[in-house]
Structure 1
Amino acid sequence: MASLALTAAAASVAGAAYLNARLSLEHDVVFARIFGRAVIKLIRASRAGRVNLFYVLEEHAQSPATAQRPFLLFEGAAHTYAATYDAVLRYGSWLREMHGVREGDVVALDFTNSAAFVFLWFALWAVGATPAFINHNLTGAPLTHSLRASAATLAIVDPRLEAGLTEEVRGELPAVRFVVFSPEVEAEAAAAAPARYMDEVRNVESYVGMAILIYTSGTTGLPKPAVVSWGKIYMAAMMAVKGMSLKGNDIFYVFKCMPLYHSSASCIGVASVLFAGAAVSLGRRFSTKTFWKEARETKATGFLYVGETCRYLTVTPAEIDPVTGENLDKKHNVRIAMGNGLRPDVWDKFKERFGIDTIFEFYAATEGALGLWNLSRNDFAKGAIGRYGVLSKAFVASRSAIVRLDFETEAPWRDPRTGFCQRAHTGEAGELVVQLPSDDVGARFQGYFGNSAATDSKIARGVFRPGDAWFRSGDVLRWDGVGDGRLYFSDRIGDTFRWKSENVSTAEVAQALGTHPAVLEANVYGVQLPHHDGRAGCVALAIDQPLASEELLASLAKHARDNLPKYAVPLFLRIVQDVGLQNTGTNKQQKNGLRNQSVDPAKMLGDSVFWLRDGTYAPFGQKEWRAMEGGDVKL
């Protein structure tokens, strides 16, 4: 009997393992944990009238179990939940009594990462106001535009950014009061009497109400203030809490390449730590030289990345202990890295070099109506932005679709007979669209503050049936071709270019080139050329040697031909001096400036340019450019 029982148990285990492998049930469990927990917390908070996250901070600060637990680590100081709560009450009192801030007001915060930023942010929530997070890299007209778009009449500014408050900026905004949060002003706020105002000032009518204004990157125009709802913060935070299994003893590391003005750092980083009762370690400045040192010092168990961050860490020289000679790459407590933008060509290199057990890659947009994620402990789903079991994939597919795209118009393709869009086949790239309630799109997409035209431009109507409404992501995605529940990012619509009647994905070309051993970073884009239709492929390359030798150029050409279809092989190379030179403040590659410079040698700012000739890359200078301008060259 015992042997029969053991045999049955073994068969049961084997059967469960088979079903899990066949249907990816573990990913259904992760999905249920994330989505279910977010919904439950949101319903409970709504019923109690406590959707405002101020109450989560208050609960931890007043609980004996968490009050003295660190919440915020910054520049050597540890701020407990109780101390943070006290600071928030004082700052809130200062805002209300000294500056007349009232419930419903929008107050702009122009700050670098700091404890003061977090205190002011939660203090605004404490008095029922809404913070507008200004990108601290902005100056001049973009700064003026961002402040004006927020409709704020009070802007609190980091003293490190005071130089940006020029006479022109102030003159353009006569209705805005600027308060530079100098050490003297900070001391004044900290000395205010702590006041907890009545719950009525924090009343939230609906979880779709505005919690924060966070701006788009502005890479294709001036930044737009996206309305971030309370519900979106709950969902983003639970994605991290349950996806990464955050516990109270975890320390989540957020640094300068993840500025708090960005939704990943604020809505995912800080908010998830708050819900988990854990600690967040803030850094003011990102440096590959000090990153792991700071991670070790703070005993961080996880960190947040974005864009090319992991690439920059991977291509830096190993850190060696000057006393013992030991390689310190794996001397840390980090077990998981969460973020978006980790490319397949870096995925395994990063994990193996630094001994990272788990990658939690996600896909989301500040103004987006759907988030996706891929919890990965192996290389089966490397590079995927989403991975789901059979049940969770069905749920995602019921809320979203990938539709065929007209790359000429950069709009979803519509059948000329029916006028409706068509779903892309499995393995076929198309635009991700997310279904919205046709009679109340604001329930899932709150749009851009004070900009109905921009909001409407993101909504497509009559996609599959008359009157339906779908959010346009602007991103080209594809489900994997074998039906394993993996979802991959192909490109931004504006980045994909057309050459020789073929659509070229800049992301896919960059991934292919990034596997060449000499390539540190590849930024791919299409350029317009005189007397040519479409856009020719060009790549700005950072390489691991000071000059591009003939051997390297030939090797790069062969690598491109071997790994890409003929139409996608870049016709031009631009060798740049270092990694990250075309990046935003969040380490995301920018292409607009490079596109506008085309391959005109006079606009290369000292960079060397090469073009594909006779199977290799050869120098491209003024002589060749003039020949192209004269119509003497046909590619």
Structure 2
Amino acid sequence: MPRPTEQNPYLPHSPFCSRGSTLFLYRSFFKEENRMEMYVISVILASSLIIPFTLKTFFPYLWVDISYFGDLLWILVRFVSRRRRRPFFFVLDRFLEQTAAHPDKPFIVFENERYSYAYTDKRSNKTANALQAHPGYKAGDTVALFMGNEPAFLFTWLALAKLGSPVALLNHNIRTKSLLHCFNCCKAKVLIAASELKDAVEDVLPSLTEQGVTVLLMTKHCNTPGIESFSDKVDEASDAPLPMSLRSHITFKSPAVYIYTSGTTGLPKAAVVNQNRLLIALAVLSSNGVMPNDVFYLNLPLYHTAGFIVGFIGSIETGSTIVLKRKFSASQFWDDCRKNSVTVIQYIGEVMRYLCSTPKRENDKDHKVRLAIGNGIRADVWREFLSRFGNIQIREFYASTEGNVGFVNYAGKIGAIGRVNFLHRRLFPYILVKYDTERDEPVRDANGLCVEAPKGETGLLLSKITDIAPFVGYAQNEEQTEKKRLRNVLKKGDLYFNSGDLMRIDKDNFIYFQDRVGDTFRWKGENVATTEVSDILTICDCLKEANVYGVQVPGHEGRIGMAAVTGKEGAQFDGSKLYKHVVSYLPSYARPRFIRVQNAMEVTGTFKQMKVKLVEENFDPGRIQDPLYILNDNEKSYVPLTAQVYCSILSGNTKL
């Protein structure tokens, strides 16, 4: 046995200890030490099992919350860093960074053509130089873009950004009165239109000419007086970079784009998206896990927030490749994804339902798509989509073009539009308040303040207007801007943005979209303003009044248009004439599918048209005594809606 030393002081060295007792104490000491080690190891092992189990049981979303907070913090740091750069840093500058980093990488894939970042940059330079040389334009003028989904749309927007011009993104489906309204409310000096929209431009040309508007058509030849060809000028222009001085006047508060949204009343409104908001929007894809090597499938309209901001602007930040499609096609969707090795898709609720409604194939799961980003997917469609097309991560989110609050369902809870938490609420204060659907207004207490909806109950989403979460409003429409502001919500003098959406928050802090309030309903991914449709219907010389509303159809997202109408004295209902009228004036999604002919229009005591009962009665001929008609494209008329046709719609045999 070793003797006690200074280096080994734990051995017994008392003169009173015998050799046997020394050995006994030595063994006892190390046996006790082993017990302590085993105890510590046992505690550690038990903790490693119990703590995760406890956290998963009582805090099941802790880790995804922490991960999301990390992403949110990184986004804020990057945003603040960019805000501090001088000269000012905008979305265009991020595109130029990506071009410098990988000039030969494909940026846009369209049909059978590929356009690199460098080509896109040079083509936008040519477009900008051609426009700058035109006498009807000067740098900084607002320009309206009237085009469908094609590379020229993206080239032209980048060109206008280089020239320091705000851009109004016109819906290429609108015509006549709506087209003129949308053009005028942004005070554009120039209209650039796609060649296939020449007829639509000619319909409003007299008014544009009278205003001195420069009209350019993306074609090499045009014989119409007042409309000039533009593609030929672009081809001949220099691809030299534009000087930064052309956009030196731009600040973060300067308008970048005008995106049109149908509100609760009237014609479309131009929501002002300023440079600051667009800079924030850069993070929309990167914050959801999109990487530079991803291929993004963009088949939603570029004039929409979803297509333009999420798809186009989001891809500029990530440096991804965009596969651009003219329009959504359920039958071609997955073949396109396979052909182009798409990894990220975008959706609105109807897109997912349409995909699930296509005939099943053996190769439904044969693709590289790993992520789907969008909003408006129903829980049942969500489950069906995953079951049929494989393990695709779905990132459902909530946002609006003009709104100042958004939510992201980063935890993947089926059916939820997002998850609420303390940090999010501190940065973007919001509240759900009780809402009176009959009176169409928030419920207020005796002090005139809004009443908060308890957790688990449906309430109207209101978001506080702050410096971090501003509400810019609508161009040339202070009345509608003011209608979206709600005052005296939680205390006298406060100011909130009225989303117009009814929400519910569950016990696990997931938030769910319930419905829209007011006169707007959503069909095929588009907002339909009932007042606008009513105005169009009453122009028809056989109708006196029209009360437009949305009704639900089993198996369909949103609400489809229906109108209760009264005829002019002595006039008979003419289905063919009305069909021709709505097709001429309204895009397909806004055309009332059902018509209910009444003898008199029901109104409230304040002469507001009553909708609640009409919505409840739906389009059921068994409940409605009034004559009912359905829009029939084959017969180009509104034809009687029979019980047989009604049953066919409910069964899904008749497609809407």
- Length-normalised TM-score, structure 1: 0.75
Tell me what 2:440 maps to. Answer: 410
Tell me what 1:188 maps to. Answer: 233
- Counterpart of 2:198 (choices 141, 159, 162) is 162
Q: What does 1:611-626 align with in structure 2 at a 5 Å threshold?
A: none
Tell me what 1:284 maps to. Answer: 326
- The offset of 1:33, in angstroms, is 4.5
Q: What does 1:79-98 align with in structure 2 at a 5 Å threshold?
A: 79-98=115-134
Measured against aligned partners, the alpha-carbon deviations of 1:293-339 in whole angstroms (never above 9, x if no partner) come to 111111110111113111011011124xxxxxxx1211111111111
Give the SS at the match of 1:150. Answer: coil
- Note if 1:305 corresponds to 2:337: no
Tell me what 1:315 maps to. Answer: 357
- Note if 1:249 corresponds to 2:293: yes
- The offset of 1:32, in angstroms, is 2.7
Q: Could you tell me which amino acid in structure 1 is paired with residue 475 of structure 2?
A: F
Tell me what 1:266 maps to. Answer: 308
- The offset of 1:58, in angstroms, is 0.8
Q: Could you tell me which amino acid in structure 1 is paired with residue 387 of structure 2?
A: E
Q: Could you tell me which amino acid in structure 1 is paired with residue 444 of structure 2?
A: R
- Counterpart of 2:98 (choices 60, 65, 71) is 60
The root-mean-square deviation of aligned C-alpha atoms, in Å, is: 3.3
Tell me what 1:228 maps to. Answer: 273
- Counterpart of 2:459 (choices 430, 434, 457) is 430
Tell me what 1:461 maps to. Answer: 487
Q: Is the alpha carbon distance of 1:229 and 1:594 closer, same or farther for their aligned partners in structure 2, counting shifts above 3 Å?
A: farther
- Note if 1:400 corresponds to 2:430: yes
Q: Could you tell me which amino acid in structure 2 is paired with residue 411 of structure 1?
A: E
Tell me what 1:19 maps to. Answer: 55
Give the SS at the match of 1:259. Answer: coil
- Counterpart of 2:515 (choices 491, 511, 523) is 491
Tell me what 1:41 maps to. Answer: 78
Q: Is the alpha carbon distance of 1:26 and 1:529 closer, same or farther for their aligned partners in structure 2, counting shifts above 3 Å?
A: farther
Q: Could you tell me which amino acid in structure 2 is paired with residue 345 of structure 1?
A: D
Contact 1:304 1:337 in 2 (8 A): yes
Q: Is the alpha carbon distance of 1:153 and 1:525 closer, same or farther for their aligned partners in structure 2, counting shifts above 3 Å?
A: closer
Tell me what 2:533 maps to. Answer: none
- The offset of 1:86, in angstroms, is 1.3
- Length-normalised TM-score, structure 2: 0.73
Structure 1: runs of 5+ lacking an equivalent? 320-326, 498-505, 531-580, 620-635
Measured against aligned partners, the alpha-carbon deviations of 1:514-538 in whole angstroms (never above 9, x if no partner) come to 5xxxx567847898799xxxxxxxx
Q: Is the alpha carbon distance of 1:606 and 1:50 closer, same or farther for their aligned partners in structure 2, counting shifts above 3 Å?
A: same
Deviates more, 1:17-26 or 1:262-271: 17-26
- The offset of 1:361, in angstroms, is 0.8
Q: Could you tell me which amino acid in structure 2 is paired with residue 53 of structure 1?
A: V
- The offset of 1:345, in angstroms, is 2.1
- The offset of 1:241, in angstroms, is 1.3
Q: Give identity over the alignment, percent.
A: 31
Greater C-alpha radius of gyration: 2
Q: Is the alpha carbon distance of 1:91 and 1:168 closer, same or farther for their aligned partners in structure 2, counting shifts above 3 Å?
A: closer
Measured against aligned partners, the alpha-carbon deviations of 1:430-487 in whole angstroms (never above 9, x if no partner) come to 11000013xx79x61110012111111100111111111000001111111xx21210
Q: Is the alpha carbon distance of 1:391 and 1:148 closer, same or farther for their aligned partners in structure 2, counting shifts above 3 Å?
A: same
- Measure the CA separation in 2 of the matches of 1:423 and 1:157: 48
Q: Is the alpha carbon distance of 1:98 and 1:73 closer, same or farther for their aligned partners in structure 2, counting shifts above 3 Å?
A: same
- Structure with higher RCO (Cα < 8 A, 6+ apart): 1
Measured against aligned partners, the alpha-carbon deviations of 1:150-198 in whole angstroms (never above 9, x if no partner) come to 2101000000111111344433552222111114632431331123333
Contact 2:146 2:194 in 1 (8 A): yes
Q: Is the alpha carbon distance of 1:602 and 1:229 closer, same or farther for their aligned partners in structure 2, counting shifts above 3 Å?
A: same
- Measure the CA separation in 2 of the matches of 1:91 and 1:33: 41
Give the SS at the match of 2:311. Answer: helix
Q: Could you tell me which amino acid in structure 2 is paired with residue 41 of structure 1?
A: R
- The offset of 1:3, in angstroms, is 9.2
Tell me what 2:498 maps to. Answer: 472
Q: Is the alpha carbon distance of 1:33 and 1:408 closer, same or farther for their aligned partners in structure 2, counting shifts above 3 Å?
A: same
Give the SS at the match of 1:108. Answer: strand
Tell me what 1:630 maps to. Answer: none
- The offset of 1:224, in angstroms, is 0.7
- Measure the CA separation in 2 of the matches of 1:143 and 1:524: 23
- Counterpart of 1:145 (choices 168, 181, 195) is 181
Q: Is the alpha carbon distance of 1:528 and 1:112 closer, same or farther for their aligned partners in structure 2, counting shifts above 3 Å?
A: closer
Q: Could you tell me which amino acid in structure 2 is paired with residue 111 of structure 1?
A: M
Q: Could you tell me which amino acid in structure 2 is paired with residue 276 of structure 1?
A: T
Tell me what 2:224 maps to. Answer: none
Tell me what 1:558 maps to. Answer: none
- Measure the CA separation in 2 of the matches of 1:217 and 1:607: 30
Give the SS at the match of 1:143. Answer: helix
- Measure the CA separation in 2 of the matches of 1:493 and 1:422: 17
- Counterpart of 1:603 (choices 612, 629, 633) is 629
Q: Could you tell me which amino acid in structure 2 is paired with residue 57 of structure 1?
A: F
Tell me what 1:355 maps to. Answer: 390
Contact 2:264 2:520 in 1 (8 A): no
Tell me what 1:626 maps to. Answer: none
Tell me what 2:23 maps to. Answer: none
- The offset of 1:352, in angstroms, is 1.0
Give the SS at the match of 2:182. Answer: helix
Structure 2: runs of 5+ lacking an equivalent? 1-36, 222-229, 522-548, 567-582, 598-613, 620-625, 631-637, 650-656
- Measure the CA separation in 1 of the matches of 2:648 and 2:369: 44
Contact 2:409 2:419 in 1 (8 A): yes
Give the SS at the match of 1:375. Answer: coil
Q: Is the alpha carbon distance of 1:8 and 1:200 closer, same or farther for their aligned partners in structure 2, counting shifts above 3 Å?
A: farther
